[in-house]
């Protein structure tokens, strides 16, 4: 293992430690912090994929997205950019949630669970 690999591993360990500390602080304070505005509503879509094991079919993605007010034709942003949050696998028949998005879901899981039903109602999505 190169020095660079060792440093990357240590950085990842530190990031995980910080997430754990933030969750501990949140649970001890009794206060659930919301995610940044740009994450809402995408974090609800990510959560639904996360609780299904991190992989869903394209049809499931469309169903989930509709629940939170997304038009399936507008989901390209999840797959675009330098670090897309979703990626197609298995000949584009399945969609997988990327690790960095999983970290956000885990960080804000309590907040998401408290607000997902309310947000789905407000978004006017189908259930």
> How far apart, in whole angstroms, are the C-alpha atoms of residue 82 and residue 59?
25
**Is 37's pLDDT higher than 90?**
no
Provide the token pair at 95. 């969609």
Are residues 20 and 73 part of one domain?
no
Q: What is the pLDDT of residues 118-127, one digit of tens each?
A: 888 888 754 4
Are residues 99 and 40 part of one domain?
yes
Look up the domain containing 80 and give its range.
Answer: 33-123
Are residues 47 and 96 part of one domain?
yes
Q: Which residues contact 85 (CB under 8 A, 6 or more apart)?
A: 42, 46, 78, 97, 98, 100, 101
Average pLDDT over residues 1-9: 89
Are residues 39 and 15 part of one domain?
no
Q: What is the pLDDT of residues 63-95, one digit of tens each?
A: 999 999 999 888 999 999 999 999 999 998 999
Partner residues linked to 95 by β-bridges:
56, 88
Domain count, the chain: 2
Are residues 64 and 119 part of one domain?
yes
Are residues 42 and 27 part of one domain?
no
Are residues 107 and 92 part of one domain?
yes
Q: Which residues contact 36 (CB under 8 A, 6 or more apart)?
A: none
> How far apart, in whole angstroms, are the C-alpha atoms of residue 41 and residue 123?
9
Are residues 72 and 97 part of one domain?
yes
Are residues 77 and 18 part of one domain?
no
Q: Residue with structure tokens 């407000």?
A: 122
């Amino acid at each position: 293992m190169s020095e660079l690999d060792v440093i990357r591993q240590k950085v990842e360990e530190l990031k995980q430690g910080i997430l754990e500390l933030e969750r501990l602080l949140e649970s001890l304070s009794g206060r659930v912090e919301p995610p940044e505005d740009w994450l809402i509503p995408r974090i609800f879509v990510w959560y639904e994929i996360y609780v299904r094991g991190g992989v869903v079919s394209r049809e499931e993605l469309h169903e989930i997205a509709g629940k939170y007010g997304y038009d399936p034709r507008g989901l390209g942003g999840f797959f675009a950019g330098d670090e897309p949050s979703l990626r197609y696998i298995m000949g584009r028949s399945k969609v997988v949630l990327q690790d960095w998005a999983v970290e956000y879901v885990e960080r804000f899981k309590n907040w998401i669970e408290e607000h997902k039903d309310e947000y789905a109602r407000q978004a006017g999505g189908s259930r």
